[in-house]
Structure 1
Amino acid sequence: MPVVNRINAFAEDMTAWRRHLHTIPELGLECHETAAFVAERLRAFGVDELHEGIATTGIVAIIEGQGEGPTIGLRADMDALPIHEATGKDYASTREGKMHACGHDGHTTMLLGAARYLAETRNFAGRVALIFQPAEETGGGAGVMVEEGIMERFDIAQVYGIHNAPGFDEGAFYTTPGPIMAAVDEFHIHIKGKGGHGAMPHDTRDPVVAACGIATAIQTIVSRNHVATQDLVVSVTQIHTGSADNVIPETAYINGTVRTFDREVQAMVMRRMQQIVDGQAASYDVSAELDYEVGYPATINDPAKTETAIAAASEVVGAAQVHGDYGREMGAEDFSYMLEKRPGAYLFLGAGEGAGLHHPEYDFNDEIAPLGASFFARIVERAQPAGGK
């Protein structure tokens, strides 16, 4: 069964919605204008309930199906990135320093397309909860919505999400049972020594060499402290210190990211990093403080729900275009908070060639929006068939 014909019939409307959203990017939890546009569309579609102001600007809309049944959740993220757009499109961002460089405008459009179809047809049992979420990029909006009780409040039994994937075959779906994206943490190390003249290092306690020693030692966590068959990334991404060639500075700063799938591995990294920071500080006669921030958990697909998602995607694009053994990657996604609470699945939808995510020349491929909307529609009709078939 191909793309849902009714959804394909309003593909031009979806393109118009998406390009309008692209002009008004908003950051974090403050997606006020985006949420207002979404709410206006949902009212026009005739959803049965519209709940606004969750996690500041998040929305949950309810569509009733035919007869009794559970509630299935469908999620789209709405926020943009603090990037100066360089696409040159006539629908480019009108907000200086902000742009939809990750395709959340497209994700929102796909869920709006599914909402319009589902509100018209209602060919399913139970209910659909349409979740429009702010602050995926920063702030963990999914976690905030979960903390505010959306799973319990709307009795959501399972939940699904999609992300577009530039560089992957256009219109193909990619997913995997079990872990699909990593947990993401960040660390900040503040080093304090004693500054002085670069020609007289014996009168100083040099934070620069201490920073170099700490950054080098941290790399041994991956190479010497964990099982090689377990995925782990520890990356030092920033070192800031100094201001002149003949001045040994007073302080240094180190920043980086940790990506894991296993909580025991994560705990080991935290323990070893603290030991390294303390030990290296003592060896260089400086003080050092580690601030380790635990971030989004790993995104873990439920195996049975993944099979349901694969079947629904196959109905839309054909089985040959659905890759159910994609494996896992070290990127992170706050949809993980929803999957911690309820079983479900997360999928990537290939967007074809073009600039990558978070690039100033990125633009969402409008051709795939009807595919994503059709997947959302089919997963509902497959997971909760009308008449219990």
Structure 2
Amino acid sequence: MNKSELKQLIDFRKTLHQYPELSGEEKETAKRVLEFFKAFEPDEVVEELGGTGLAFIYEGKEKGQTSMFRCELDGLPIKEDHAIPHKSKIEGKSHTCGHDGHMAIIAGLGMKLSNERPKKGKVVLLFQPAEEIGEGAQAVLADKKFHKHNPDVGFALHNLPGYEKNQVVIKKGAFAAASVGMIVKLKGRNSHSAHPEAGNSPAEAMAKCLVALEKLPDAMKRFTLVTVIHAKLGEAAFGTTPGEAVVCATLRAYENETRDILVAYAEKLCTQIAKEYGLEISFEFVESFAATHNDPEAWDYGNDAAKKLGLKVKHIRIPFRWSEDFGHFSKKTKTLLFGLGSGTKQPQLHEPNFDFPDGLIDTGVSMFWEIIQKLHFED
């Protein structure tokens, strides 16, 4: 990629950085991406995919596999806190996860494909909505417009602070955890705070749930993690005892099946506690992420590309505890999600002073382009 093309991608990234939109609201971001791709003349454009998503299709003249390369459209509800010239102009919203950089990388593939069409098969460049809340991939997969382009193999990357810049972080099998947000609602009965015995406060039961949920993984044979992230007891009304309580927790495991067992145990445990105190109980589940699983064949493409480019490769043994909704594609097709180191001193993802390092763009494009060469050009 020459300097002029790279500058074009960096400028595009910085524009996207200034106008972040939250999950499911990425209409203006999608418009900017659509406008940027006009010069790259895809064979087909799919709009409003799974909501605000976009796909750009490049087809070869010969039959072959369909490959998908995915990035994410959405930003975060985090106020940016540093003095870069391209700082977010949208109050309380930011691209502090690096999705702006991921979009620039996939745009770079469109730039290259416009100059050199695939010889065989079909390349799908997917700009996916709502990754941060775990709903975008499922919405895309459920959209009939996507069924025409179901991939045989899919690829994605995520920048990873804490690793050397441009180092490829890769693993076969489980790569990122399955997770789900659980909301536990306890209902008792209010009373005057001068006569607490006349009501049925959920306070003690809530306290037991808080402790018991985080201790639950101790009884599991495989890795699991329960993190209580929020709790609320009644209202700040000093003349009234609480009648309701809410506990919110995130449940994680490296496998979908283990996460589901953990959820069942958590429900049973909280139900037993509620019964002990004569409370009503109900559950809600939000932000469900499937485990991201790297298929051996897809892994080979990524590993070979890194070798050919002479990049440093780190083969990790233990999956990451964070979740990525690319895992929903893992359930449907052969996938590879790999990490691209963004610097050992880089602020962590979701920190208010995070900014995607532009030096990763060329490496990301090169990695994916090598994979495209193998899939769509070589005999």
TM-score (norm: length of structure 1): 0.91
TM-score (norm: length of structure 2): 0.93
Give the match for residue 341 of structure 1. 332
The structure 2 residue matched to 1:303, chosen from 290, 296, 299, is 296
Where do 5+ consecutive residues of structure 1 fail to align?
1-5
Q: Verify the 8 A CA contact 1:85 1:97 in the aligned structure 2.
A: yes
Give the deviation of 1:29 after TM superposition: 2.1
Give the deviation of 1:332 after TM superposition: 0.7
Give the distance between the partners of 2:4 and 2:54, measured in 1 at CA.
Answer: 26
The structure 2 residue matched to 1:207, chosen from 202, 213, 219, is 202
AA of the residue aligned to 2:258: V
Change (3 A) 1:326 1:33: farther
In the TM superposition, what whole-angstrom CA distance separates every residue of 1:144-201 from its partner, at most 9, and x where no partner exists? Answer: 1111145531242111001111221101011111111111111111112233355544
In the TM superposition, what whole-angstrom CA distance separates every residue of 1:60-111 from its partner, at most 9, and x where no partner exists? Answer: 1111235332221111111101111112222111111111111111000000
Q: Verify the 8 A CA contact 2:76 2:94 in the aligned structure 1.
A: yes
The more displaced of 367-376 and 279-288 is: 279-288
Q: Verify the 8 A CA contact 2:101 2:358 in the aligned structure 1.
A: yes
Give the deviation of 1:30 after TM superposition: 2.1
Q: Verify the 8 A CA contact 2:217 2:223 in the aligned structure 1.
A: no
Give the match for residue 325 of structure 1. 316
Question: Which SS does the other structure have where 1:355 is aligned?
Answer: coil
The more displaced of 31-40 and 158-167 is: 31-40
1:239 aligns with 2:231: yes
Question: Which SS does the other structure have where 1:295 is aligned?
Answer: strand
AA of the residue aligned to 2:290: P
How many residue pairs match? The answer is 377
The more displaced of 178-187 and 273-282 is: 273-282
Name the % identity.
28
Question: Which SS does the other structure have where 1:311 is aligned?
Answer: helix
AA of the residue aligned to 2:356: F
AA of the residue aligned to 1:369: I
1:171 aligns with 2:162: no
The more displaced of 78-87 and 260-269 is: 260-269
Question: Which SS does the other structure have where 1:42 is aligned?
Answer: helix
Give the distance between the partners of 2:287 and 2:353, measured in 1 at CA.
Answer: 31
Question: Which SS does the other structure have where 1:69 is aligned?
Answer: strand
1:118 aligns with 2:118: no
Give the match for residue 277 of structure 1. 270
Give the deviation of 1:261 after TM superposition: 2.8
Change (3 A) 1:93 1:160: same
Give the distance between the partners of 1:378 and 1:359, measured in 2 at CA.
Answer: 32
Change (3 A) 1:371 1:150: farther
Give the match for residue 8 of structure 2. 13
Give the match for residue 261 of structure 2. 268
Q: Verify the 8 A CA contact 2:225 2:253 in the aligned structure 1.
A: yes
Change (3 A) 1:382 1:150: farther
Give the match for residue 252 of structure 1. 245
Q: Verify the 8 A CA contact 1:190 1:289 in the aligned structure 2.
A: yes
1:84 aligns with 2:71: no
Give the distance between the partners of 1:346 and 1:8, measured in 2 at CA.
Answer: 28
The more displaced of 363-372 and 234-243 is: 234-243
Give the deviation of 1:314 after TM superposition: 2.3
Q: Verify the 8 A CA contact 2:19 2:90 in the aligned structure 1.
A: yes
AA of the residue aligned to 1:184: S
Q: Verify the 8 A CA contact 1:124 1:381 in the aligned structure 2.
A: no
Give the distance between the partners of 1:111 and 1:294, measured in 2 at CA.
Answer: 25
Give the distance between the partners of 1:64 and 1:133, measured in 2 at CA.
Answer: 20
Give the match for residue 378 of structure 1. 370
Within a 5 Å distance, the mapping from 1:212-227 to structure 2 comes to: 212-224=207-219, 226-227=220-221
AA of the residue aligned to 2:123: V
Give the deviation of 1:14 after TM superposition: 1.2
Give the match for residue 103 of structure 1. 98
Change (3 A) 1:263 1:79: closer
Give the distance between the partners of 2:328 and 2:2, measured in 1 at CA.
Answer: 30
